[in-house]
Chains A and B, each alone.
Chain A
Amino acid sequence: MNVDFLQQIPLFITHTKEEANRILLLCRQRTLRKGESLVKRGQRASSLFILEAGTLAVFDTLREGEVTLAELNAGAVVGELGLLDGAPRSANVRAATNCVVHELPYDALGHLFVSLDAAAYKLVRQMSLALCERIRETNGRIAQVAEDPTIVKPKSASADAAAPKAAGDWLAGIKRLIAG
């Protein structure tokens, strides 16, 4: 991963070359084979990941089985929320193809915070901006479901025979809602 790549990612778009370089120095490159797990729901979060190449799948395990909530491509960042609230991982992520990711440990960023490095606080401000967008989206969806529960409710709940299709509709609904 080079500085130019990092500077194109929204979280680092305000970083100067020097600041982006300081972030880059903290990253450890990892390669994932297709199918390999990156983070598991419930695990303690200790790093964020920047995807340089390949596709990652965010998935959830529901009654009906596994549902892919989102697919992430080059430039995506995973696990930044845990840096701010210390909560465990909220979703499962694994490589959908062979991937190259760069792991940025929270501890390393913590040192930048303590040393009052502008690179760390630019990241915080860009994260805030990204969080605002996600809060607006999520609140919009909450209102949307409250308005029209059929968005997620199976259309036909009368016959058991209809269940698989209804479950499929519902999964599609949930997928739209949660993954956006």
Chain B
Amino acid sequence: MSASAAPPPHFKYVRGLDSFRNFSDGELTALLNVMKAVTAPPGTTLIREGDAGTSCFLLVKGKVALYKEQDVKERRFLAHVQQGGLFGLVALIDGMSRSATAVAVEPCEMLELPKQVFDKLFFSGHPVGYRFQLLVAEALAKQLRHASVALKVIAQSAEAGEDLSLFEATRSLDAAQAALEEYNMTAEEVVQPVPAATDERGKKRNEIDLSAPPPKR
């Protein structure tokens, strides 16, 4: 990169993301130069479950919903990808078909990384490849923690006898995700065990109160 070259699109935004902290300015510029800026209006299907994985995305602006569509009677909500999140990684790593459908729920701006470049970085023995591999593993770890919390939340709702409408599920999953992100809480703090004393039939017991202050750590 020459000194006078303009930084690639979204450089400033990505530079500010904690997940890219290990990349030097030069490495980040090189990475962003091989990513394609994409925009999508709400409702756009970005990834379809069952398809082959051809790229992954960094969400720069907006919000994306992930759904499970196969082996279910109707589309089931799984999670939201928030600004700054990576998605579309799983199929690129395990080589199987797309694990979920991703739909833009707000006007979205993304940076798309083609599979060929992803593979080069992910299997590289070069320092920038190593940094990329750590970034990917951290993103997956975060995704798994969220999914585990989500599973606990809806399992507990089901146990409490609530009929789990998609709306309720979405709300509690979002609450769990937001709590995790905002307060860096653990699954166990988000999903509090239900105290026996409040075990009153028919009473909703598992709602998460986000207005409550986060527990002290």
Contact = CB atoms under 8 A, between A and B. Distances in A.
A18 interface: no
A178 B141 contact: no
Interface string B138-165: 1011111101101110110111011110
A154 B158 CA distance: 9
A81 to B, nearest CB: 5
B140 A128 contact: yes
B196 A63 contact: yes
B158 A151 contact: yes
Interface residues of B, number: 58
A143 B69 CA distance: 9
A127 to B, nearest CB: 6
* Chain A contact surface mostly: helix
Interface stretch (B7-15, B38-46, B128-136): B128-136
A142 B150 contact: yes
Contacts of A149: 157-158, 162-164
Given A85-B138, A128-B136, A135-B99, A140 B93 contact: no
A3 to B, nearest CB: 21
A128 B93 contact: yes
Which 3 interchain pairs have the tightest Cβ spacing?
A149-B158, A84-B141, A143-B68
A131 B187 contact: no
Contacts, number: 148
A165 B86 CA distance: 44
B203 interface: no
B194 interface: yes
B148 A138 contact: yes
Nearest to A87: B186
A5 interface: no
Given A136-B90, A140-B68, A145-B164, A90 B76 contact: no
Contact of B137 (A127, A136, A143, A174): A127
Contacts of B99: 132, 135-136, 139
Place the interface of chain A in its size category.
35 or more
Contact of B127 (A87, A116, A136, A178): A116
B125 interface: yes
Interface of B: 66, 68, 71-73, 76-78, 89-90, 93-94, 96, 99-100, 122-123, 125, 127, 129-130, 133-134, 136-138, 140-145, 147-148, 150-152, 154-155, 157-159, 161-164, 166, 169, 184, 186-188, 193-196, 199, 201
Contacts of B161: 153-154, 157
B76 A143 contact: yes
A149 B153 CA distance: 12
A125 B122 contact: yes
Contacts of B136: 128
Contacts of B151: 138, 141-142, 145, 177-178
Contact of A146 (B93, B141, B152, B166): B166
Nearest to B129: A121
A177 B157 CA distance: 14
B78 A143 contact: yes
Nearest to B89: A132
Nearest to A160: B201
A114 B18 CA distance: 18
B145 A81 contact: yes
A146 B194 CA distance: 20
Given A90-B148, A142-B76, A135 B130 contact: no
Contacts of B130: 113, 116, 121, 124
